[in-house]
Copies of this chain bind each other. A is one copy, B any other.
Amino acid sequence: MKKQKLSVVKIGGKLIENENLLQTFLRSFVDLQGHKILIHGGGILATQLSDQLGYKSTLIDGRRITDENTMKVITMTYAGYINKNIVAKLIGSGCNAIGLCGADGSSILSKRRAVKDIDYGNVGDVETVNTEFICSLLTQQITPVFSAISCTKEGQLLNTNADSIAAEVAIALSKDFETHLFYSLNKNGVLMDAENDKSVIEELDFVLYQDLQAKGLISNGMLPKLHNCFHALQHNVNNVYVGGVDVLKSGIKQTKILN
């Protein structure tokens, strides 16, 4: 039997921070045919709230540590404010959605990242995606909206990279669905020249990726993102796209990642 189509869409950055852009994006998300799942990060809202509350960021080697206060702020902004506002907007557009963090329905369980050189604090890596539960939602025509928080089976909430969650959710569900994974960035795709937003690479395969990486042409922010893209393709996800805020629109220049 032909598998049904599922789109897994990750949004972040300015889409989350700009009400008008978000509204426009959600319209195209609602119009997307077939089953769909939305995964969002938090943009700068968590940092802004931390600053307002006078919480000091702990940085080690320039990397932010998720201490108790940061985790509290992330839970409030990601799982609370951003998540519920997206869900409410979707409900208002006639798309029955449900906002989840990884704890909800044990949907995304993770392991706290082991301390090697640096203790990143309350940060986790996905271990299991509860596909049975997520499929039961999709079957009921309910669209899951995940915030980038997972949970250990011992009940600890953990800050978790939204790009990785998107890849792991898409991979886990590719058993049951023809799965399409979309990453929406501030840039219009993977750029040949980071300064030129028109230099979108339309097709990026692993050979070209390695070549560009060797030449130092892929920015530090893009490397882990592309790692997630190839990881997904190598684990049965059918298609992966990297684009801008209008990644879901057809006829828009964006990057298709090829295995």
Contacts and interface: CB of A to CB of B under 8 A. Distances in A.
Max chain B CB contacts within 10 Å: which of A85, A90, A91, A99?
Answer: A91
A153 interface: yes
B155 A93 contact: yes
Contacts of A84: 75, 79-80, 101, 103-104, 149, 157
Copies in the complex: 2
A151 to B, nearest CB: 5
Contacts of A61: none
A92 B136 contact: no
Interface of A is mostly: helix
Interface string A126-137: 000000010011
A89 interface: yes
A105 to B, nearest CB: 5
Nearest to A53: B52
Interface of A: 49, 52-53, 72, 75-81, 83-85, 87-93, 96-101, 103-106, 133, 136-137, 140, 142, 149, 151-157
